[in-house]
Amino acid sequence: MRLFIAAPISRELREALSAALERVRTDLSTMPVKWVAPENLHLTFHFLGETPEPAVDAITKRLRGACANFPALDVLVAGLGCFPDFSRPKVVWVGLRDAGRLAKLQRAIHDATAEFGEQGGAARSKPDRTTFSPHLTLGRVRDTSSDQRRRLGRELQRQNLGELGWWRMDRVTLMRSELSPAGPCYRELASVALPVS
């Protein structure tokens, strides 16, 4: 099973993002971007990859332990950006503000579940040094020329999403991703509530 750990967004935020994304998609309709379906928007904390089914219970138990000391938090959703940057966009995203607490939660989740999935033992002997950058992926740029990427970056910089609102992040989920020609389909396997402060 292909697994990842994420936080699902609220219905209200999904509606706000859906409306904003529709405007962006319309403005950039000729650009080579594969947009994420609104129902698939989420914050990824840790991608496990291919994982044996019997490990689900152990991962869920570790996830509960990792989340126990992190109360639900309010996150401001604002700002359009790209990875790696606007001159070479590969991923289009909207930012999440409260990076300090989100980064601590992400680190706890990663450390608690690092031995599972594709990385397995390698994760235990080689710590993950990737900087966590909280975001919601809106789209991925298709294979295209450098000139087209730069043009897309300039167009994206002209987009003004502003602040899309606050999101009360109150749970973390273990998700299964099933790939198909129509795009990924996500199914929740377990949900861990964050304590109310």
Q: What is the mean pLDDT of residues 58-79?
A: 95
- Stated pTM of the model: 0.88
Q: Which residues are 91's β-sheet partners?
A: 83, 140
**CATH classification at residue 35:** 3.90.1140.10
Q: What is the mean pLDDT of residues 87-98?
A: 92
At 99 the pLDDT is: 60
- Is there a contact between 7 and 172 (Cβ–Cβ < 8 Å)? yes
Q: Provide the strand spans (E) within 98-194.
A: 135-141, 163-169, 171-178, 185-193
Q: Which residues are 141's β-sheet partners?
A: 33
Q: Return the sign of the alpha-carbon dihedral for residues 78, 80, 82, 85.
A: negative
Domain count within the chain: 1
- Residues in CB range of 37: below 8 A, 6 or more apart: 183
| Whole-number average pLDDT of the chain | 89
Residue with the bigger pLDDT between 100 and 19: it is: 19
Angstrom distance (rounded) from CA 120 to CA 59: 12
| Structure confidence by residue, pLDDT tens digits, 110-167 | 999 999 987 554 444 344 556 889 999 999 999 889 999 999 999 999 988 888 889 9
Q: Print the domain residue range for 26.
A: 2-193
